[in-house]
Amino acid sequence: MHPLQITLIAANAVGFSLLLWKGRLDDRLAVLVMTLTQIGSFALTEVTWNGMRAGLLSMDLLCFLFLWALAERGGRWWLVLAAGFQLIGLLGHFAPFLAQERLAWALVTLLWGVWTLVSITVFFGVWEVMADRRFAREGRDGARMDHGGGARAAASME
């Protein structure tokens, strides 16, 4: 295994653990989908059809569809970003067919880049979950105002 893969798996393990601990149902389902996608990608990496990596393509397609459905339902920005990055990775599978020569390493580099972006997005998701809880507890603006408890003139905006 390449050191970048080990680093991304370790980062995902930390981010996924935090999302499982602090997140809502949609966050937990996204973690499940992305974990199964990683496992399925390693298991199906050798499945090819007409020169296309059909195993990876099918896993990326399923992951995109599930993340898109969760993003539509969940109302979390990190899910929207993760689904968008997954779409970029999905479309990258067709890049070798648009070039005159097969660009295998370009595809691998693109997929690792997308994986890196999704890993960063997972940590944004952890921040979003924590911010959502804080805003629900303290008010939507995140600030507590001391109004003094009595009637008085409003603050001027001069």
Domain for residue 1, yes or no? no
* 107 vs 112: CA distance, rounded Å: 9
The token pair that represents 85 in the structure block: 């990055």
Domain for residue 4, yes or no? no
Q: From residue 132, how far is each of 12, 42, 64, 94, 129 by CA, in Å?
A: 21, 34, 24, 38, 5
Domain for residue 99, yes or no? yes
* Interval 25-80: pLDDT, tens: 999 999 999 999 989 988 988 887 876 778 888 999 999 999 999 999 888 899 99
Domain for residue 147, yes or no? no
Q: Whole domain around residue 124: which residue ranges?
A: 11-135
Domain for residue 83, yes or no? yes
Q: Is the distance from CB of 88 to CB of 113 less than 8 angstroms?
A: no
Q: Is the distance from CB of 86 to CB of 114 less than 8 angstroms?
A: yes
Domain for residue 156, yes or no? no
Domain for residue 118, yes or no? yes
Domain count, the chain: 1
DSSP state of 46: T
The whole-model pTM stands at 0.77
* Interval 97-112: pLDDT, tens: 776 566 667 777 887 8
C-alpha 131: how far from its chain's center?
17
Domain for residue 50, yes or no? yes
